[in-house]
């Protein structure tokens, strides 16, 4: 193991990790918005939107992210739409993540008993208040494990961004292997980089799950 090589090229991994995190944060944030909108359209059975969101979820979940990125990066320019590598990465991650987040949110909403909503209506809450104070807290507490798993999954999916000429962690590792044939060192730094990113997120997700699940069940008993 060439520790001098590792020490010399660690800053490249740090820079690539920063880029990976920025794109992942933007894509995941958009996926939350898309997922919430799709979930509400399906939960409240809006006729046309429910069919559109259902088709979108099936398309996004049953096609690889790499194919979606190729479509955005190489396909859209054929019709005059050109996106940067970062733009394609963010849009691709949001497109894929929105479908998974929609299903996570839907599972949380379906887990809330209808009597909870009916109790809120009996107390005189409006639909918006019922969603905010009754439905959402309990659904969120139930959805946290799936949401955290999706976040980790989406961050790991950023490893394919190198296919659209984005200098992410995988791009740096492949570049160093190609130039210096230091496969063990490059892959070791790649593994450490992903563990450094994902382990704190996993720990935070476990902590949130315990806190919100306790709060959610407590809220349910009080209603």
**Whole-number mean pLDDT of the chain?**
85
Q: Token pair 């193991």 is at which residue?
A: 1
pLDDT-based confidence at residue 34 (cuts at 50, 70, 90)? very high
- By the 10 Å C-beta count (0-12 exposed, 13-18 middle, 19+ buried), 107 is classed as middle
Residue 6 has a pLDDT of 84
Q: How far apart are CA 213 and CA 139, in angstroms?
A: 10
Q: For 126-165, how does the pLDDT look when each residue is reduced to its tens digit (9 = 90+)?
A: 777 877 777 777 777 788 888 989 999 999 898 888 888 7
Q: How far apart are CA 144 and CA 123, in angstroms?
A: 28
**Dihedral, 196, 199, 201, 202 alpha carbons, nearest 10:** 170
- Find all residues with CB under 8 Å of 107, minimum gap 6, and list them: 142, 143, 146
Q: For 69-122, how does the pLDDT look when each residue is reduced to its tens digit (9 = 90+)?
A: 999 888 888 888 888 888 899 999 999 999 999 989 888 888 877 787 778 778
Q: Give 62's Cβ-side CA count (13 Å radius).
A: 6
Domains of the chain, start order: 3-222 (1.10.3720.10)
Q: How far apart are CA 200 and CA 57, in angstroms?
A: 29
């Amino acid at each position: 193991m060439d520790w001098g090589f590792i020490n010399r090229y660690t800053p490249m991994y740090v820079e690539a990790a920063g880029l990976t995190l920025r794109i992942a944060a933007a894509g995941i944030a958009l996926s939350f918005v898309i997922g919430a909108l799709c979930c509400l359209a399906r939960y409240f059975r809006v006729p046309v939107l429910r069919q559109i969101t259902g088709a979108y979820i099936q398309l996004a979940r049953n096609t690889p992210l790499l194919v979606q990125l190729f479509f955005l990066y190489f396909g859209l320019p054929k019709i005059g739409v050109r996106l940067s590598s970062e733009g394609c990465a963010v849009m691709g991650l949001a497109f894929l993540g929105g479908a998974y987040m929609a299903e996570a949110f839907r599972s949380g909403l379906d887990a809330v008993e209808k009597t909870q909503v009916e109790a809120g209506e009996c107390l005189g809450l409006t639909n918006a208040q019922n969603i905010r104070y009754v439905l959402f807290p309990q659904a969120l507490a139930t959805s946290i494990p799936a949401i955290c798993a999706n976040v980790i999954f989406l961050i790991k999916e950023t490893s394919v961004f190198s296919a659209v000429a984005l200098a992410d962690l995988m791009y740096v590792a492949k570049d160093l292997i190609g130039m210096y044939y230091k496969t063990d060192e490059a892959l070791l730094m790649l593994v450490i980089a992903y563990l450094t990113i994902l382990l704190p997120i996993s720990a935070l997700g476990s902590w949130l799950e315990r806190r919100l699940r306790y709060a959610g069940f407590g809220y349910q008993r009080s209603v």
